[in-house]
Chain A
Amino acid sequence: MSKTDTTENTSSALVSAPSQGSSVRLTGWLILIVAAAAIASQMRWDWIMDYYPLLWRGLVTTIILVIVTSVLGLLLAIPIGLVQVVGPFWLAWPAKAFCTVIRGTPLLLQLWLLYYGLGSLFPQFPWIRQSELWPILRQAWPYAVLGLTMSYAAYEGEVLRGAFAGVGKDQLDAGRSFGMSERQIFRRIWLPQAVRRAMPTLAGETILQLKATPLVATITVLDVYSAAAQVRQSTYLTYEPLLLISAIYIIISLGILKIFSRFSSSKQVRLAG
């Protein structure tokens, strides 16, 4: 009984404090929107109807790229982070090297090396050209997915390394003292605590991942940015397409934040230092 009371009190206290701030913020947003609408009304937007299918295709590609490469990258990042904490050294060392190299070089360079390097190396081998994978390998998107996945894996591997190391040994000892197996300890204690620690960072990193996707335009993948670039080339309009996709990127970013906040609030938890 008293428990629910306290929770309600705390949550209403938590809600009411920011709501005052948010009404100020709301006014700010309104002013901004009115100003933007005033400027936008002076611009040309009739092209949207013509290029709508192209932009839509690009948008879908961008969203799929972010989701697929973040999920695959995170799955790779877990072992990359873990082996750097628990070893053995012959796994930890390559993982560390991978993170250092990928994080130390521009993503643009990596994409080009994959697409123009690997992509032009493959056709020289007849057995690859004749393999069933060739129709896929001759397209650009596999290299985009590979490049973005590796990038996410390297950054998040480093984030998770810190998160794994940050989970107290006493938490794991408690599992051992009750006879849990090392595998159970990892799955049920270590991993969930590490991921929860890393969650706020991962949200930010995923937004960075979204904003890295326009680079795939340079290897001929049609994402929302390259769709806008095509519009610009054929209509000679400079600002309108760029403003439109800016708005689109903001909306996707907000969506990413929403997804992550749902993840962390579904298990509202505070990890003690």
Chain B
Amino acid sequence: MSESEGNASTEAIHAEQIHKRFGALEVLKGVNLSARKGDVVAIIGGSGSGKSTFLRCLNCLDHPTSGSLRINGEEVRFKPDGHGDLAPASRQQIRQLRSRLAMVFQNFNLWQHRTLLENMIEAPVHVLGVPRKQAIEEGKRLLDRVGLNDKHDAYPAFLSGGQQQRAAIARALAVDPLAMLFDEPTSALDPELVGEVLKVIQSLADEGRTMILVTHEMAFARDVATRVVFFHNGVVEEEGPPSEFFSNPQSERLQKFLSNFN
């Protein structure tokens, strides 16, 4: 861990002492987590352990109550948001950082009023300022890559969950992100559709994409992750390389959690 703090050029995400409170409920109680470029960090844990909230704090979709955040070596500047949490101090900065951290949601969140191809070019054209023609070319290429060659002009509502999630992953790739944040990408899918989405994520891991992946797919986390992190009650209870983590869990809570899956 200390080596990731040392070298800023290889560090993608560094979160320190992230706290998040919803009213009286403290969901995150000081989470530390960092990812170097090329890392695939799988976050596992029971429901309510704060994994999704943590992920949403990384791009400030949820405002952390306290803590500090460094993306690609750049410190995120915060200011009090007037509700007891921290809002990004600079809209410019947070928009710029968000565009580098592409998020894939549990419920896909494709824009329903746009075709898949329109979904693909929205952020590149209107946030990054990529020329439209180039964005369309790239969008088509990425849709083809995730196996949606014949669905460019389809609206999301006409597609299966697996197809929608693959499109959502392609949409995230379209901004050529520094890191990708996956928020339980297969939890809303029918069991028979999970495989096709995992295959796409696997291929991204193989090409060295930096990813933070909140998941319940233990076998997948073991295969794909370079590091696994176990959340419990708003803190990181245990973490390690998958081989160690799954075969030799140290904490009692992790042992108990993993026993649910075997």
Taking beta carbons and an 8 Å cutoff, which residues of A are in contact with B? 1-3, 168, 170-171, 173-181, 184, 188-189, 192-193, 196, 267-272
Contact = CB atoms under 8 A, between A and B. Distances in A.
A265 to B, nearest CB: 13
Interface string B107-122: 1011111000000001
Given A173-B109, A193-B112, 14 more contacts: A3-B153, A3-B154, A171-B111, A176-B61, A177-B98, A178-B175, A179-B98, A180-B123, A188-B126, A189-B113, A192-B113, A269-B112, A269-B113, A272-B156
A270 B94 CA distance: 32
B96 interface: yes
A189 B109 contact: no
Interface string B35-61: 000000000000000000000000101
Contacts of B89: none
Given A170-B107, A272-B157, A180 B127 contact: yes
Contacts of A179: 94-99, 123, 127
A178 B127 contact: yes
A272 B150 CA distance: 21
B112 to A, nearest CB: 5
Interface string B154-182: 11111000000000000000010000000
B113 A196 contact: yes
A180 B153 CA distance: 23
Say which size band chain B's interface belongs to: 20 to 34
A177 to B, nearest CB: 4
Nearest to B156: A272
A2 B150 contact: yes
Interface string B48-92: 000000000001010000000000000000000000000000010
Specify which of A178, A181, A269, A270 lies most central, judged by the most chain B CB atoms within 10 Å of its CB.
Answer: A178
Contacts of A175: 111
A164 to B, nearest CB: 14
| In the A-B complex, the 4 residue pairs with the closest CB atoms | A179-B99, A178-B123, A174-B109, A179-B98
A3 B150 contact: yes
B126 A177 contact: no
A178 B99 contact: yes
B146 interface: no
A176 B98 contact: yes
B103 interface: yes
A262 B105 CA distance: 34
Contact of A177 (B61, B91, B151): B61
B126 A184 contact: yes
Nearest to A3: B150
B102 interface: yes
16 contacts: A2-B150, A174-B110, A176-B61, A177-B61, A177-B102, A178-B98, A178-B102, A178-B127, A179-B99, A189-B113, A192-B113, A193-B112, A196-B113, A269-B113, A270-B112, A272-B157
A271 B123 contact: no
B109 A270 contact: no
Contacts of A178: 98-99, 102-103, 122-123, 127, 175
Contacts of B109: 168, 170-171, 173-174
A2 B153 CA distance: 13
Contacts of A268: 155
A196 B122 CA distance: 19
Nearest to A178: B123
Contact of B105 (A173, A189, A269, A272): A173
Contacts of A189: 111, 113
A181 B155 contact: no
